[in-house]
Amino acid sequence: MAFSKDHELHTRRFGRNVSLAVVLVALIGIVFGLTVVKVTTGQPLEGFDHVARPHMIPQEGN
Partner 1 sequence: MSDTSINKPETGEAQFSDFFALLKPRVMSLVIFTALVGLLVAPGSIHPFIAFCGILFVAIGAGASGALNMWWDADIDRIMRRTQKRPIPAGKVTPNDALAVGLALSGFSVVLLWLATNALAAGLLAFTIFFYAVVYSMWLKRSTPQNIVIGGAAGAFPPMIGWAIVTGDVSLESVLMFAIIFMWTPPHFWALALFMKSDYDDAGVPMLTVTHGRRTTRNHLLVYTLLLAPVAVGLGFTAIAGPIYLTIAIALNAWFIKGAFEIWRRDEAQAEADHYKTEKAFFKFSLLYLFLHFGALLVKPALAPFGMGGW
Does residue 10 belong to the site contacting partner 1 (CB under 8 A)?
no
- Using CB under 8 A as the binding rule, whether residue 44 contacts partner 1 is answered as no
User: Least distance to partner 1 from the beta carbon of 28, Å?
Assistant: 13
| Distance of alpha carbon 37 from alpha carbon 40, whole angstroms | 5
> Does position 7 bind partner 1 by CB under 8 A?
no
Dist CA 33 CA 39 (whole Å): 10
The answer to whether residues 12 and 6 touch, using CB atoms and an 8 Å cutoff, is no
User: Which residues contribute to the site for partner 1 (CB under 8 A)?
Assistant: 12-13, 15-16, 19-20, 30-31, 33-34, 37, 41, 48
